[in-house]
């Protein structure tokens, strides 16, 4: 007889055998006992959580000749036929390959015939979200008012793709991810039945690798048993089979990253590659390792959240004190981005090496978390007496980093205050000043007139608005600061600005800066403006 995979060999036969879905099992059993069976069910949830299994158990239960507390007896002829897949009352349809309108029309024609044996004809449509729009429309009427002897059970991993018109006609049951404890207990139960010895730590790691899916965990366990046939299954053997890395290796890698040891990180990665470790799994596991470190450093009691041993937890607590949470968040961000890129890459190792270099060299990035990491490195160097030189200013570097890395000699000096004659330069460059402003402020400056105090002759620029709507800018400190900054950048000196509104004689002491006067001072000769000569006829 050919070998049967564990997840098929130990598929639950009754509701009591289903693990981790008590909220659904209890509801269905109560419906069976009360004879309140629905005509359409929708089973939603991630892969391997028991959707198809529960659908088959429900199909047996509604047709069982001698049900036991809402569960099928698995002994009557009907139960055995359904279990063997020979019953004409249970029709399983894969919507991924039978998703057309014609397939649904066949179902509509078949439901007109009563079951030859048993009470109900049950249609189990797996991956129902793969049906076409036309197929969904063809199913609507039959799903809403099926014959009394027909039950539809729709199963899907992507409920959001199902039309609302279908959802409203079904009883929806959401299958949850199965906990690690539940999966581990089930795995140990099956190992005992198979006569295989295994470490508790190894079993829990396989359960964790299942990621909430009982079927995935059973497939991984099957793989480990086959690799080490007739041997005791240990934690190290499980790591070898699954291509994963122990936490001790992650600890070594993190310490080298914190020390900015690029060569050490690359060498450690090369050792993992030579040992046959899968890069995608490595990225995922290292990300989770840093996530656990972040939780340990951010919360007081994490024993219930982290599924690790006491020794490992103590080691992680020690390492969490070595690194700031902001730094860990940057590392997690880099590796999370890598996880999305590495899946379809042909050069996985190169991408991982680049990510490790990014972790060791925070200056390669300009994000806020990388800036904090750079500050951490600078502080550590200063604590150890290592001289720090100012980094060359990059065009795209953040202003905060520039300020931190500049030496006192490189600090920009305060601009000199403008003298009265500097107002003439403001007048000559007034168009450039207005052009540097933005929005409505620029529009009002276009009609404004630059002036000075004709009585005192002080080096204070008065901007007189001629448009009454500009009155709000006379009290706007931000606009005043913006204009002063523009003038300072153009003439290299700071000019005090006051914005006023032209009205009836309030600012009569203000005088306009004459362009003719400016030209005379510039070219040191009188300027005469001649009229055009009369044309000769």
Check whether residue 169 and residue 186 sit in a common domain.
no
> What is the rounded radius of gyration, in angstroms, for the C-alpha atoms of the chain?
39
Average pLDDT over residues 309-319: 74
Tell me phi and psi for residue 121, to 5 degrees: -105, 120
pLDDT confidence band for 523 (50 / 70 / 90): very low
User: Among the three residues 194, 227, 242, which one is the final residue of a domain in this structure?
Assistant: 242
Whether 153 contacts 43, CB under 8 Å = yes
User: Among the three residues 175, 206, 231, which one is the final residue of a domain in this structure?
Assistant: 175
Average pLDDT over residues 141-147: 86
Whether 520 contacts 526, CB under 8 Å = yes
Within-domain flag for 351:
yes
pLDDT at position 153: 94
pLDDT at position 396: 46
Check whether residue 432 and residue 471 sit in a common domain.
yes
- Domain of residue 457, CATH code: 3.30.300.180
Within-domain flag for 324:
yes
Average pLDDT over residues 188-202: 90
Within-domain flag for 531:
no
For residues 119 and 531, the model is more confident at 119
Within-domain flag for 203:
yes
pLDDT at position 54: 94
Check whether residue 119 and residue 234 sit in a common domain.
no
Say if residue 436 is exposed, middle or buried (CB neighbours under 10 Å; 0-12, 13-18, 19+).
middle
As a whole number, the mean pLDDT across the chain is: 81
Axis crossing angle, helix 279-298 with helix 247-258, rounded to the nearest 10:
70
The encoded tokens of residue 28 equal: 């269905």
Tell me phi and psi for residue 496, to 5 degrees: -75, 130
For residues 459 and 401, the model is more confident at 459
pLDDT digits (tens, 9 = 90+) for 56-89: 999 999 999 888 888 899 899 999 998 888 888 8
Q: d(Cα 437, Cα 487) in Å, to the nearest integer? A: 10
Average pLDDT over residues 352-366: 84
pLDDT digits (tens, 9 = 90+) for 370-387: 666 667 667 766 666 665
Check whether residue 270 and residue 308 sit in a common domain.
yes
Query: What are the percentages of helix, strand and coil residues in the chain, rounded to 5?
Result: 55, 10, 35
Q: d(Cα 479, Cα 499) in Å, to the nearest integer? A: 9
The model scores a pTM over 0.85: no
Check whether residue 368 and residue 235 sit in a common domain.
no
For the chain, what is the largest distance between any 2 Cα atoms, rounded to a whole number of angstroms? Answer: 127
Rounded to 10 degrees, the C-alpha dihedral 289/291/296/302 comes to -100
User: How is residue 499 annotated by DSSP?
Assistant: E
Rounded to 10 degrees, the C-alpha dihedral 485/489/493/499 comes to -30
Within-domain flag for 532:
no
DSSP string of 474-492, one letter each residue: GG-HHHHHHHHHHHHHHHS
Whether 149 contacts 115, CB under 8 Å = yes
- Domain of residue 358, CATH code: 1.20.272.10
Check whether residue 19 and residue 148 sit in a common domain.
yes
Average pLDDT over residues 393-418: 47
Check whether residue 166 and residue 253 sit in a common domain.
no
Check whether residue 34 and residue 161 sit in a common domain.
yes
Per DSSP, the three-state class of 481 is helix
Per DSSP, the three-state class of 343 is coil
For residues 341 and 377, the model is more confident at 341
Q: Domain limits at 456?
A: 422-522
pLDDT at position 484: 87
Q: What angle do CA 319, 320, 326 make, to 5 degrees?
A: 130
pLDDT at position 409: 44
pLDDT confidence band for 351 (50 / 70 / 90): very high
pLDDT at position 408: 45
- Domain of residue 194, CATH code: 1.10.8.60
Check whether residue 272 and residue 315 sit in a common domain.
yes
pLDDT at position 121: 92
Check whether residue 65 and residue 127 sit in a common domain.
yes
Check whether residue 220 and residue 364 sit in a common domain.
no
pLDDT at position 208: 85
- Kindly tell me if the per-residue pLDDT of 156 is higher than 60: yes
User: Among the three residues 175, 195, 214, which one is the final residue of a domain in this structure?
Assistant: 175
Sheet holding 496-501, edge to edge: 496-501, 460-465, 449-453, 510-512
Within-domain flag for 415:
no
- Domain of residue 49, CATH code: 3.40.50.300
User: Among 118-132, 253-267, 476-490, which stretch is predicted with the lowest mean pLDDT?
Assistant: 476-490
User: Distance from CA of residue 7 to its chain's centroid?
Assistant: 32
Residues forming beta bridges with residue 494, ordered by sequence position: 417
Within-domain flag for 414:
no
Within-domain flag for 142:
yes
Check whether residue 213 and residue 94 sit in a common domain.
no
Q: What's the structural domain count of the chain? A: 4
């Amino acid at each position: 007889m050919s070998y049967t995979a564990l997840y098929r060999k130990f598929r639950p036969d009754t509701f009591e055998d289903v693990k981790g879905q008590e909220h659904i099992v209890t509801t269905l059993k109560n419906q069976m006992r009360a004879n309140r069976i629905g005509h359409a069910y929708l089973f939603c949830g991630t892969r391997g959580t028991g959707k198809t299994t529960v659908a088959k158990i429900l199909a047996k239960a509604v047709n069982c000749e001698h049900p036991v507390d809402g569960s099928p007896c698995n002994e009557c002829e009907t139960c055995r036929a359904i279990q063997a897949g020979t019953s004409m009352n249970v029709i399983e349809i894969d919507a991924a390959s039978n998703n057309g309108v014609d397939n649904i029309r066949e179902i509509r024609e078949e439901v007109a015939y009563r079951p030859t044996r048993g009470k109900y004809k049950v249609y189990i449509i797996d991956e129902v979200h793969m049906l076409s729009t036309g197929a969904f429309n063809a199913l609507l009427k039959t799903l809403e008012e099926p014959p009394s002897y027909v039950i539809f059970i729709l199963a899907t991993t992507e409920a959001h793709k199902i039309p609302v018109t279908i959802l409203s006609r079904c009883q929806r049951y959401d299958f949850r991810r199965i906990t690690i404890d539940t999966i581990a207990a089930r795995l140990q139960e099956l190992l005992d039945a198979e006569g295989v010895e295994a470490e508790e730590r190894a079993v829990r790691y396989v359960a964790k690798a299942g990621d909430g899916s009982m079927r995935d965990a059973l497939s991984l366990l099957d793989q480990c048993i086959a690799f080490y046939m007739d041997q005791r299954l240990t934690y190290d053997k499980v790591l070898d089979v699954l291509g994963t890395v122990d936490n001790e290796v992650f600890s070594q890698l993190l310490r080298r990253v914190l020390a900015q040891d690029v060569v050490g990180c690359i060498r450690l990665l090369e050792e993992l590659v030579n040992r046959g470790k899968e890069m995608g799994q490595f990225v995922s596991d290292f990300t989770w390792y840093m996530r656990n470190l972040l939780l340990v450093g951010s919360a007081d009691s994490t024993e219930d959240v982290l599924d690790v041993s006491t020794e490992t937890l103590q080691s992680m607590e020690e390492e969490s004190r070595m690194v700031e949470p902001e730094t860990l968040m940057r590392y997690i961000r880099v590796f999370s981005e890598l996880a999305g890129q590495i899946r379809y890459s042909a050069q996985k190792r190169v991408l991982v090496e680049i990510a490790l270099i990014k972790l060791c060299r925070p200056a390669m990035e300009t994000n806020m978390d990388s800036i904090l990491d750079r500050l951490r490195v600078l502080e550590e160097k200063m604590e150890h007496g290592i001289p720090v030189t100012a980094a060359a200013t990059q065009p795209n570097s953040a202003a905060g980093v520039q300020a931190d890395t500049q030496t006192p000699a490189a600090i920009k000096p305060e601009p000199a205050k403008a003298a009265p004659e500097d107002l003439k330069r403001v007048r000559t460059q007034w168009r450039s000043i207005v052009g540097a402003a933005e929005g409505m402020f620029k529009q009002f400056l276009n009609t404004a007139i630059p002036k000075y105090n004709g009585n005192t002759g002080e080096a204070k620029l008065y901007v007189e608005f001629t448009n009454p709507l500009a009155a709000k800018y006379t009290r706007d400190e931000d606009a005043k600061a913006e204009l002063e900054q523009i003038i300072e950048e153009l003439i290299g000196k700071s000019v005090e600005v006051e914005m006023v509104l032209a009205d009836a004689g309030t600012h009569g002491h203000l005088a306009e800066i004459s362009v003719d006067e400016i030209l005379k001072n510039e070219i040191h000769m009188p300027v005469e403006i001649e009229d055009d000569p009369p044309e000769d006829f």
